[in-house]
Chains A and B, each alone.
Chain A
């Protein structure tokens, strides 16, 4: 594919359920980022992967949030025991960055999560 793909595009879940959000980055992009965007607000950094490793997990809001990346490709963001405050758009971005810090981020269209 030409761009970053995220699925599902929309997810409605009941409070307390677990959800998995998927990101397929652009092929060859070594860096992958997850951000959270609440309605009408800016982007909140969650986690960053370089290859399959996550050197920075500082943005994860709580231990209910986890993420993994395999094959230096697909990444999954998992939210356990969802709460209403988890409702937001979750954006994934990938980049060639690694040794090249001047590469831009390429974003997917996000997953809109609604916790009822």
Chain B
């Protein structure tokens, strides 16, 4: 399976702390994306990092990519209660088609 895996599966932190989630995948990729899912809702795109990029920032989000280790991390700084959600990584490998493969997700709880 090409599916990625996030760890930890669940993370609970205090408001104001930083949250780090990791994603590992199995095949070569063209890009890796992070998505957020609030309970009972669809996924919302957060950030995309291309295979030739190593780090990317967007507001309080910082994503790193290490293609040699086939891994990525998502850092949320100064977390807020509203960041409580599940976070998924998704990978695209053009050689095997245009489907995006999603990981199993990290459930983040930010305690006010």
Interface residues of A (CB under 8 A from B): 4, 31, 33, 35, 41-43, 45, 48, 50, 55-56, 59, 91, 93, 97-98, 101-102, 104-110
Contacts and interface: CB of A to CB of B under 8 A. Distances in A.
Contact of A35 (B31, B44, B102, B105): B102
7 contacts: A31-B98, A41-B104, A42-B104, A45-B99, A45-B102, A93-B43, A102-B50
A66 to B, nearest CB: 17
B30 to A, nearest CB: 5
A106 to B, nearest CB: 7
Contacts of A98: 98
Given A59-B99, A101-B98, A42 B105 contact: yes
Contacts of A56: 97-99
Nearest to B103: A42
Interface stretch (B13-21, B56-64, B88-96): B88-96
Contacts of B99: 33, 45, 48, 56, 59
Interface in B1-48: 3, 30-31, 33, 35, 40-45, 48
B104 A33 contact: no
A33 B43 CA distance: 13
A104 B104 contact: no
A114 to B, nearest CB: 14
A45 B92 contact: no
Contact of B92 (A55, A101, A110): A101
B84 to A, nearest CB: 15
